[in-house]
Structure 1
Amino acid sequence: MNELARFSLPDFVRNVSHGSTLTENDRSHKLRMIIRISEIAMKTALGNIEMLLEAEIDEGRALSRAERRELQVQRILDAAKTCFAREGFQGASMQQICAEASMSPGALYRYFVSKEAIIEEICAAARRDDEEKLAEMLTKRDVVEGMVFGAMTHIRFVHETDACALIAQFHAEATRSESVRAIYCNHLAEVRGIFLQYLGAALDRGEIDPLFELETLVPVIMSIIQGIANNDLPANGVALDKVETVVRTVMVSMLRPTGKAA
């Protein structure tokens, strides 16, 4: 055992203060260690205090247990998204997520038992969000405008939330994780089913005359929407209004609306 390893922290503090056989470099190194440990402890303590305050009070009222849980879960998910986009699903650790969320490991593990559980919840949350957007699309009387609305809502969301990096990591993880791949495939199938039902009803009413059968056309439309969103064209100099014009032109050319009123 070397000389440094024999010192406990209290011994070390006394040695630094009163002198010992430690060299100047040893004392400097140990002091830096204490400062760093203190910084981490303070950050964690302040983060947990802030988290508790946010969890307990919202606009002057006490939050319910369910609301507190939802707030904490969202805090973890936001931190995880930041870490995953920066480090990748494989590279990010639970410790990094804790630090990003200013949360102790014990607090985080109360909500998620593993990194994989966090990934699955991020996927599930995205799925629920898409369901809400698609439900609004279905209220549009003009089917072409409804499809444009659905497409642009997704494209804007990816652009405004800077989600391209996270989406890329998600696609990569789907090739490694069976659970993530299952979530991904199920979600695509659900969206495809909604589009098929929406366009199928319009076809039955005689409002559209598509170039191809819908079973072929819908996956192509979905791929176009995903391609525009995942490449974040607005971030690369293509204005959103111009993107929308192109999307509308594509929808019209593929669906060939007949002009028949709904």
Structure 2
Amino acid sequence: MEELSNSSNELAVADDTLETLSRAERRDQQIQRILDAAKACFVRSGFQGASMQQICAEVGMSPGALYRYFPSKEAIVEAICEADRQDDMTCFGALRDATSAVDGLIAGAMAHIAHTSMKGSAPLFAEMRSESMRNEAIRATVDGHKGEVAAMIEPLLAAAIERGEVNPPVELPILMAVLMSIGEGMAINDLPARGVPLDKLEIALRAMMEGMLRPAKNTPAE
């Protein structure tokens, strides 16, 4: 009887919590539930194979209710990318406080690698990137997300080149294209999940960055 009483009390507390949530908070919770369900469907069935009906079944919501939040799968992907963008802003925030371009890139990259591996985002990332090759709307969303990350990195490199801190062997636009492609590959492969220790990965990543950026032995004072 005591266990039953405790369970009833827990349910009552949960109900009270739901009642105290504002309309905006309840909406945010519903949106997160839909996004989590959509991610599971995309990974399991692929973007093409996952229908809005399957997402409805996964989240336990009627089609009419779901469409009030998202009119299409493309809209769901856009919301997923927006959430990822917020994470990227945090991960690459290390760029702002870096003492050098190489250190900033390493710190940002390692924070992003650790975060995406912890979330298990690699299968979803791979599926979205693959779909972007076929779907113009998804491509625009994915490319826009990449563009925002690049916009955080490029000024750091441009300033480092101007003050003679680094001397890359190719022009900045080409260098950026290579760096972004490497970043995509690392996100898709999720090396920590494959058993690559983060400390060893950082050593390899630093050697690669130094090879591409060719930092000066004595960095000029700012």
TM-score class, shorter-chain normalisation, is: 0.7 to 0.9
Instruction: Show CA shifts across 1:210-236 (max 9, x none).
Output: 233222212112222222221122222
Instruction: Give, in angstroms, the shift of residue 252 of structure 1.
Output: 1.6
1:162 aligns with 2:109: no
- Which region of structure 1 is more displaced relative to structure 2, 245-254 or 226-235? 226-235
- Kept in 1, the 8 Å contact 2:113–2:190? The answer is yes
- Which residue pairs with 1:176 in the alignment? 134
In the alignment, which of 144, 165, 175 is matched to residue 207 of structure 1? Answer: 165
Query: Within 5 Å, which residues of 2 pair with 1:29-108?
Result: 57=17, 62-108=20-66
Looking at structure 2, the residues matched to 154 and 217 of structure 1 have their Cα atoms a distance apart, in angstroms, of 20
Looking at structure 1, the residues matched to 119 and 50 of structure 2 have their Cα atoms a distance apart, in angstroms, of 20
- Which residue pairs with 1:241 in the alignment? 199
Instruction: Give, in angstroms, the shift of residue 111 of structure 1.
Output: 1.0
Distance 1:67 1:141, change over 3 A: farther
Instruction: Give, in angstroms, the shift of residue 80 of structure 1.
Output: 0.6
Looking at structure 2, the residues matched to 64 and 134 of structure 1 have their Cα atoms a distance apart, in angstroms, of 32
- Kept in 1, the 8 Å contact 2:92–2:112? The answer is no
Looking at structure 1, the residues matched to 141 and 72 of structure 2 have their Cα atoms a distance apart, in angstroms, of 17
Instruction: Show CA shifts across 1:95-114 (max 9, x none).
Output: 32223223333332221122
Looking at structure 2, the residues matched to 136 and 102 of structure 1 have their Cα atoms a distance apart, in angstroms, of 40
- Kept in 1, the 8 Å contact 2:95–2:153? The answer is no
- What secondary structure sits across from 2:109 in the alignment? helix
Instruction: Give, in angstroms, the shift of residue 138 of structure 1.
Output: 2.2
Letter of the 2:17 counterpart: I
- Kept in 1, the 8 Å contact 2:95–2:156? The answer is no
- What secondary structure sits across from 2:97 in the alignment? coil
Q: Percent identity, aligned pairs only?
A: 50
The normalised TM-score by structure 2 is 0.82
**Bigger radius of gyration among the two:** 1
Ranges in structure 2 where 5+ consecutive residues have no aligned partner: 1-10
Instruction: Give, in angstroms, the shift of residue 248 of structure 1.
Output: 1.0
Distance 1:62 1:140, change over 3 A: farther
**Length, aligned pairs only:** 208
- What secondary structure sits across from 1:57 in the alignment? helix
- Kept in 1, the 8 Å contact 2:81–2:145? The answer is no
- Which residue pairs with 2:4 in the alignment? none
Letter of the 2:137 counterpart: S
- Kept in 2, the 8 Å contact 1:85–1:165? The answer is yes
- Which residue pairs with 2:80 in the alignment? 122
Letter of the 1:155 counterpart: I
- What secondary structure sits across from 1:110 in the alignment? helix
Ranges in structure 1 where 5+ consecutive residues have no aligned partner: 1-49
- Kept in 1, the 8 Å contact 2:166–2:215? The answer is yes
Looking at structure 2, the residues matched to 158 and 133 of structure 1 have their Cα atoms a distance apart, in angstroms, of 10
- Kept in 2, the 8 Å contact 1:208–1:255? The answer is yes
1:216 aligns with 2:216: no
- Kept in 2, the 8 Å contact 1:158–1:230? The answer is no
Instruction: Show CA shifts across 1:179-232 (max 9, x none).
Output: 111112222233333322111112223322223322221211222222222112
